[in-house]
Structure 1
Amino acid sequence: MEEKLLQEAYEKSKDYLYEDSLRFNLLSIIEKDRDEAHVHSKVIYSLLSQNWGKKDKETFLTLFLKEIGIGEEIIYNEKWEVSREKAFDLDTIKGRLDFEIKSKDYIYIIEMKIDAGDQPEQLMRYQKFAKEQHKKYKIFYLTLDGHNASKKSIGEEENLEENEKVEYINISFKEEILNWLGNCLKLVEGKENKSACVNQYIASINKILGEKDTKIKDNILKSVENIKNAISLYGELNDELQVTLENFMSLLKEKLKTRIGNEIIYYKKYVKNYYNYTLDKIPQDYPGLYIVLDKNKSNNSNYYKFVLKLELAPELIGCLGFIKNDSDEKETIPFVSFSKVKKDSSGLYNRCLKKIENLEVEDKLSDNNRAYWYYIKNSKGEIINFKDISLSNKTLLSLMDEETLKEEAKNIATYISNEIVKNMEI
């Protein structure tokens, strides 16, 4: 019954694709419509940076500033500069701004999230950076639906001073971005190519939101019985993926143990209930497997370990950072901030940061104040997203095949051993 329902869904979806649906946009065709870092960031930056309007005062940028609530008396009296992926490194904080819109007197910072989770104290660091610029500032948190940032991002603790609390504004693709793009269309009315570009992006966003893409559901789920079957099938898929994930991580641990002599920290409970809990909430720390690369020579209160964490965030990524030595088994082991390790154990910090600087990986290392990270891909060079439970996520579903799972675990373990662990040795 399950296979029949899946096949029916697939055949119905093929029929639907012949219609002029939201799925027919370039980002969906190349399977990049959820890629925030390499696609959405570049598209939005390009639109904000181009003067595609008429020869008057309105541009895509002025329309955007209006949409997020900036007054006209500010917009038209300032000269604006837009930056993307702007890195900053102050004495005590570092980070990378998704978007920065600034003028002589104002600075607006935008943090964008589609699938990626929040980084530790991310918005708190942005606020500290903004205050250092000595300008009037606002921080915007852009998500699909306009939800709040996690406590992990804003560093929300009871003992925070009032001036340390993060003030930010929620904006969403569903409201502000789609409203803005609709106004942009009016600005380029009659310009075929520019209008087509904006319309393609609108279709891509609506496809992600899924609000207008309901015809498949209507065709497939025509009865209460089919709805029950679909829910049951989804639950069974969750259970099967949970077993697959546990087997994958356990096998990865065993393959690594046979190839390297390093200490490995991993307990099966780290990924327990991943598909029943982690997908519904943004965890404070994602689960993973830790490979110890270096550590303090003496065991004391400031005893740290430098690790490579294979993290389910929800994509499989490698994180290089420091953890506190702790014999207790926890759900996850949080990274310690670089500034604290530098203060407590400068020798270990300097030694390990030098290793990171000398490390060469396919994708550029990204960093926050607790870890450097990059994607760990499968044998086909694909990112493995453990959160995307859909028939289109063939990269994840392929791991349900026992032989494929074994082969991918072996390939990743070999890569980690030869390209990372070996090259991180002094």
Structure 2
Amino acid sequence: MDITATPTPRWRQAPLIALRGFWAGASWRALMHLVTGSIIGLLSGFILIILAMAAVAGALTVIIPLGAGAAIFALSGALTLVQRSRHTAFLGAEWPDTAPLRPVTLAPKALLEVLRRPRTWRHLSYHAITAVYSPIAAFFAIGAWTAGPMMMAAPLMGLRSGLETRHWWLLGVGVLVLIGAPWLGRGLAEIDSLLARALLGTSRTETLEARVSDLAASRESTVDAADAERRRIERDLHDGAQQRLTSLAMNLGIARATLTDLPEGGAKALEEAHEEAKQVLTDLRDLVRGLHPAVLEDRGLDAALSAVAARSPVPTRLRVDMDRRVARDIEAVAYFVVSEALTNAAKHSRAKSATVDITISGSRLLLRVTDDGRGGADPERGTGLQGLADRVRSVEGTFHLSSPLGGPTTIEAELPCAS
């Protein structure tokens, strides 16, 4: 025999659900939330009204409105912390991490900064609303808890004279009011919670701004970590592999000069090994120089790019107009953009001349590299142009390439360099 438990119909569970509100912790926390909210709301509302009246009364002066305004905003910030903690303690609300509250001063500039923030007016609106709503909500919640038992006790008061119909009506209504009291309190507390989430919480714009700030900080830390790793690799290559290759090339040169009686095959092999060692050493030096030249660190972008222009197979005219040095990562990006652009001009464009112009305009470093080659440069063909664009964007700069067929090719970049 298959015995299957039959679920209890929901209409039979309704009395148990209704009575559950009496022993549910959420009901009592909601009641305490409303009671404490009414006390805070009455006190804060009274103080805010006094301060507002003082500001209006002293409108003919300057110091009184400024002082009253500063006090209102300071009180609003303190009340925000108190109300948030109340919602967290009784309703389990969670609040996003925000910047700490700054002390409000009498300086007009500081007050204007506070006035411009939408968050200021949202918080102040909540405190103004709850100054009225919280006492009313607490009155109805406490009234339901007290009126219900009093109405249920009415028939007992009429026992001596006999029970009348109105007594039974009071008994029934009292039972309903008492059963509904927990749910009424929870509903009123939920309304307050909705108001708090809308006005004391973080708006979508503020959330996006915080996200952008986090991403910017993460990008900066990533760039710093990559820069530190690059420096470590440069140091290891310079102090390790480069020194050993230099010693090897010297030993091969000495052997080549002293061992003159070797067979023709051995002498040729020794000569090839010596030339190969020198070429590898040259390539390694170029690699180390390309990672981050010491002259860029020591003397800045002008000196480093002068060396690049001097080494370039394409005759290059360089003009650097900078009244100050910029951030280290910005200098590195500008250096690599110019180096890669001149390398491409020599390898791919068959250019006969190139020009490099670097200037500072306000808070932007303007970079322009032009060559008179055949043009047609395409980032999709793997010439490193896409990597240049990505490197420029990594520091929140802009990159533009113009390379029609027949030339000229122009690379322009704008890099932030706020002092």
TM bin, normalised by shorter chain, reads: under 0.3
More strand by share: 1
More helix by share: 2
TM-score (norm 1): 0.16
Relative contact order (alpha carbons < 8 A, sep ≥ 6): 1 or 2 greater?
A: 1
